[in-house]
């Protein structure tokens, strides 16, 4: 079974980017075809914030957001697993510092390293950090 760490940038691209980035389309298809994604707890906050900002900017209306949330909730039940790994503040800080990342992005990198999983992200800085850290990138 194909497992990978799913960054919020990829999941939000499913709903907000037109055209959708090919990597995002492949990650979504992987989940719909039996793959599994692992997400840190902060992923839920990033997804909620992404939809709130999109609605505020007029990219989505409340009905659109409701439909997006329905789909995210379906994927959470079927193909997305929360990661229960408790990362210390020190570890997150050290990763953020070592790879010049935000603490939020450092969490995704640390989960991928700890779980030995590929990382699906559209964030170019995080992609570079993953390569430097020896973390496989979802392709």
42 vs 44: CA distance, rounded Å? 5
pLDDT over 90 (residue 83): no
Mean pLDDT, rounded, of the chain: 95
> Is the pLDDT at 84 greater than 90, yes or no?
no
> Quick one: pLDDT at residue 1?
57
110: nearest Cα among 122, 125, 92:
92
What is Dmax (Cα atoms) for the chain? 42
pTM: 0.93
- pLDDT per residue as tens digits for the range 24-62: 999 999 999 999 999 999 999 999 999 999 999 999 999
**pLDDT score of 73:** 94
* Contact call for residues 7 and 121 (beta carbons, < 8 A): yes
Tokens describing residue 122: 């559209």
Domains of the chain with CATH codes = 3-133 (3.40.50.1010)
């Amino acid at each position: 079974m194909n497992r990978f760490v799913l960054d919020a940038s990829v999941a939000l691209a499913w709903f907000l980017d037109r055209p959708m980035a090919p990597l995002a389309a492949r990650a979504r298809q992987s989940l719909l075809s039996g793959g599994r994604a692992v997400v840190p707890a902060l992923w839920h906050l990033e997804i909620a914030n992404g939809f709130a900002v999109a609605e505020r900017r007029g990219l989505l209306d409340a009905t659109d957001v409701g439909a997006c949330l329905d789909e995210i909730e379906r994927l959470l039940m079927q193909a997305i697993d929360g990661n229960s790994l408790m990362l210390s503040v020190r570890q997150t800080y050290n990763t953020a510092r070592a790879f010049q990342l935000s603490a939020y992005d450092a969490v995704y990198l640390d989960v991928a390293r700890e779980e030995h999983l590929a990382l699906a992200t559209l964030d170019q800085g995080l992609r570079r950090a993953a390569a430097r850290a020896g973390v496989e990138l979802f392709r």
